[in-house]
Amino acid sequence: MTTFLDQLVAQGRHRPAAPAIVTPDTVVTYGELVARVDRLARVLVARGVGPEQVCAIAVDRGPEAVIAMAAALRAGAAFLTLDVELPGPRLATMIRSGQARCLVTTSALAGQLDLAFGGLRVHTDEPDPGAAVRLPPIATRSLAYVSHTSGSTGTPNAVLVEHRGLDNYLRCVVRDYDLGTETVVLQLAPLGYDASIRDTFAPLMAGSQLVLVARSALLRVDEFIATVRDFGVDTILSATPTFLTFGFGHDVPSLRLTVSSGESLRPFLTAGGRERLRGRLVNQYGPTEATMTSTRFVVPPDPDTTMDLVGTPIEGVTVYVLDDDLNPVPAGAVGQMWVGGIGVTRGYGGRPDLTAERFVPDPFNGPGNRMYRTGDLARLRGGVLEYLGRVDRQIKIRGYRVDPAEIEGALLNHPAVDGAAVTAATDDRGRVFLVAHVVGELAEVTDAALRAGLAATLPPYMLPRRFTRIARLPTTASGKVDHRALTAGP
């Protein structure tokens, strides 16, 4: 079975002069990349790092971060990538919950990181201990990386991902998206989020060019478009619908492939975003707990009836739509999505209680297998999964259950609305009502006009009582809309 490491080493052997990582300042060839990965891997092994041990990677965005991630795997260990722009206490919490044994960083950053870490510290520029240090074989069930999800208590949960799930997913990405030696991929996702692993490892597995630029160059529309043009980018593997809505609102570079994930694609499609993407658009769905992605759907040029479809499972993955008793619901009926198969991870590090609650034996896939409860609602339409929102995002209004995403999509039909998010608030009598937060040229548009536009397609109980005008939707570090940051008084 082909693995990421096997393919990376093969690229270094057969195409040593081909560019692997390209930045505004440097080019790292595949030969150089593999040599630097192996050197750092030998350093880690010589320092006692090995299988089932987690290396926290605290390195600035760039080639050194990629090298450190791959070197941890090459040493037989697992990695936990940290975004060094996050506050020190947050990083310390992630290191602790991820049970990291060592911290890999650069000499330049070592004195700047304010981390109370008492474990092994390794600098990326430590001298090579030599070829006498042997790199271990990699077991498919060994730990590959740790990624964090937001916990309901505010404390991040560490998800433990094995090599078999990672390698299966990367093979699917390379095959399904036709990545190859002529492909140029722009890495968008922040370090510390699992999407950055896909963005980084899949192109390198395929022998593509990986473009890495500063995050600041990706947060302004003009700089983002200039980056795509200047580097000849033809593929983006990780873009949230929120990013697409703002990033592709003007002159759009010609991309062969754009992959969206992380949120409902409906608002982007409702705003006419599909027309501005001349290449293929793929909508991915999947939780961190099931190794990033479980399904994918190729969005057609005219997406009016397919706005919430997330497609069919990737190879090695099964997806079920079940009722509360874990029985399959009839086709067309709404249920909760559960994910089974090779992508299901070990669970949450240090949280056996939460792991037991969310990961249960899979009654459909043979003994010893587990499935993961996503907390997402879905139904099957002609054998294709339709995403219907989060159970925990649904709002109950006068006895009706409301999916905010449906209202957000309807708001974007208004020509003056560029962005929308819907939340719930409670008045002084304890009654729940809807608040619409809208972005756009709305100075001359009244609340009554917005409400009338919605009333043309939505029932009365789905009409917001209040509309607030904001300059832009707040986002989390991963680029999703930050609904918690949107507040409204009674």
| Dist CA 470 CA 174 (whole Å) | 40
Q: Report the CATH fold assignment for 4-239.
A: Rossmann fold (3.40.50)
Q: What's the confidence (pLDDT) of residue 104? A: 96
Quick check: 239 pLDDT over 90? no
Average pLDDT over residues 104-129: 87
Place of tokens 């060094």: 84
| Dist CA 27 CA 167 (whole Å) | 26
Q: What percent of the chain has pLDDT over 90?
A: 62
pTM for the whole structure:
0.83
Q: What is the pLDDT of residues 7-45, one digit of tens each?
A: 999 999 999 999 999 999 999 999 999 999 999 999 999
Quick check: 488 pLDDT over 60? no
Q: Which uninterrupted H or E stretch holds 361?
A: strand 359-361
Q: Which of 288, 285, 297, 402 is nearest to 337 (CA)?
A: 285
Q: What's the confidence (pLDDT) of residue 489? A: 45
Most confident of 234-243, 339-348, 405-414, 473-482: 339-348
Q: Which CATH number fits domain 394-485: 3.30.870.10, 3.30.300.30, 3.30.499.10, 1.20.120.1460?
A: 3.30.300.30
Q: What is the pLDDT of residues 336-364, one digit of tens each?
A: 999 999 999 999 999 999 999 999 999 99
Quick check: 490 pLDDT over 60? no
The residues spanned by each domain of the chain are: 4-239, 280-390, 394-485
Instruction: Categorize the per-residue pLDDT at 285 as very low, low, confident or very high, splitting at 50, 70 and 90.
Output: very high
CB atoms within 10 A of CB 15: 15
CATH code linked to domain 280-390? 2.30.38.10
- Enter the DSSP assignment of 157: E
Q: What is the pLDDT of residues 361-383, one digit of tens each?
A: 999 988 889 999 998 889 999 89
Instruction: Categorize the per-residue pLDDT at 402 as very low, low, confident or very high, splitting at 50, 70 and 90.
Output: confident
Question: 85 vs 282, which has greater pLDDT?
Answer: 282
Degrees, nearest 5: CA angle 340-344-346: 140
**102: its two tokens:** 């060592």
Question: Can you state the angle between helices 404-411 and 447-455, rounded to 10 degrees?
Answer: 110
Q: What's the confidence (pLDDT) of residue 155? A: 63
Q: Which of 158, 146, 141, 136 is nearest to 71 (CA)?
A: 136
| Dist CA 448 CA 430 (whole Å) | 24
Q: What is the pLDDT of residues 449-477, one digit of tens each?
A: 999 999 887 878 889 999 999 998 998 76
The two beta strands, 400-402 and 280-285, are unpaired
Report DSSP letters for 196-259, one per residue. Answer: HHHHHHHHHHHTPEEE---GGGGSSHHHHHHHHHHTT--EEEEE-HHHHHHHTSSS----SEEE
